[in-house]
């Protein structure tokens, strides 16, 4: 009966996630051990007491984590809309800071879960769990430029849309000179920050499988949040440059292409 409850919790959480098109790995790159320990065929040979501890934790926390991930997704949609509406940088950054706070709350909960799992399992069970996780749930590193940018930045990438639609948007030579100058100066910096986030996420994944302390891993989440804010700030300043360079008709057409 307990196993059925655990499986039901996982199933309900997955259904909720699928409905909202939300992937936990987008918000927490560390190991998601609970989905393995509550799976019916995990090879861990859990005792009734161990299974009870895990199902109790899942019952109390999984829906809360899912709700926070949904809040993050909704805020990111709002950030995109605010950017398209031409809202000022401070208001957009305020929304980013809200997503950052939620991301830290999710990280804190999931890292506490990791500690619970490690402390509840016997050493051989823990080693088996880590091996299982590394083999069946490896870190998936984003390598394509647009995948990386979209992962770290919810605001539209106006420059890429302009470059893909020069003729349709009727971009003049003068306008292109302005946007090209911005890209030449800022794109390398943007990609450096974006790739730093991907690198930190990979470190979080790897260290969550080791005995690295919660505080050390948590600091990496804080560093990621700072970089995310810097990226959105820079992308919004880019938006301002583009909006000021294009005429009203061009801007409306550009925004329509970012919907």
Structure tokens at 257: 């292409």
Average pLDDT over the chain, rounded to an integer: 89
Q: Which of 83, 235, 224, 85 is nearest to 160 (CA)?
A: 235
Rounded distance between C-alpha atoms, residue 8 and residue 176, angstroms: 55
Rounded distance between C-alpha atoms, residue 84 and residue 92, angstroms: 11
pLDDT in tens, 205-250: 999 999 899 999 999 999 999 999 999 999 999 999 999 999 999 9
Q: Percent of the chain scored above 90 by pLDDT?
A: 81
Residue 57 pLDDT more than 60?
Answer: yes
3-state SS, one letter per residue, for 136-165:
HCCCCCCCCHHHHHHHHCCCCCHHHHHHHC
Rounded distance between C-alpha atoms, residue 211 and residue 201, angstroms: 17
Rounded distance between C-alpha atoms, residue 208 and residue 111, angstroms: 8
pLDDT in tens, 150-168: 888 999 999 999 999 999 9
Res. 21 pLDDT band, cuts 50 70 90: low
Q: Which of 68, 114, 127 is nearest to 212 (CA)?
A: 114
Residue 53 near residue 120, CB atoms below 8 Å:
yes
Domain extent listing, the chain: 2-257
Q: What is the CA radius of gyration of the chain?
A: 22
């Amino acid at each position: 009966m307990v196993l059925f409850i655990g499986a039901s919790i996982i199933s309900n959480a997955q259904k909720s996630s699928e409905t909202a098109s939300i992937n936990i790995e987008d918000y927490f790159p560390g190991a998601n051990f609970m989905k393995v320990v509550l799976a019916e065929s995990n090879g861990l040979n859990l005792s009734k007491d161990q299974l009870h501890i895990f199902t109790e934790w899942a019952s109390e926390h999984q829906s809360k984590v899912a709700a926070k991930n949904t809040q993050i997704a909704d805020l990111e949609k709002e950030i995109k809309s605010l950017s398209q509406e031409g809202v000022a940088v401070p208001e957009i950054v305020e929304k980013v800071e809200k997503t950052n706070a939620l991301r830290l709350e999710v990280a804190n909960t999931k890292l506490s879960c990791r500690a619970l799992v490690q402390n509840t399992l016997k050493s051989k069970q823990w080693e088996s769990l880590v091996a299982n996780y590394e083999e069946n749930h490896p870190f998936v590193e984003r390598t394509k430029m647009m995948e990386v940018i979209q992962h770290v930045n919810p605001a539209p990438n106006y420059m890429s849309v302009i470059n893909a639609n020069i003729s349709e948007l009727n971009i003049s030579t003068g306008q292109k000179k302005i946007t090209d100058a911005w890209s030449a100066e800022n794109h390398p910096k943007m990609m450096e920050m974006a790739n730093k986030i991907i690198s930190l996420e990979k470190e979080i994944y790897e260290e969550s499988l080791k005995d690295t302390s919660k505080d050390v891993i948590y600091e990496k989440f804080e560093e990621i949040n700072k970089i995310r804010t810097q990226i959105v700030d820079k992308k919004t300043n880019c938006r301002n440059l583009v909006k000021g360079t294009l005429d009203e008709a061009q801007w409306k057409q550009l925004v329509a292409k970012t919907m």
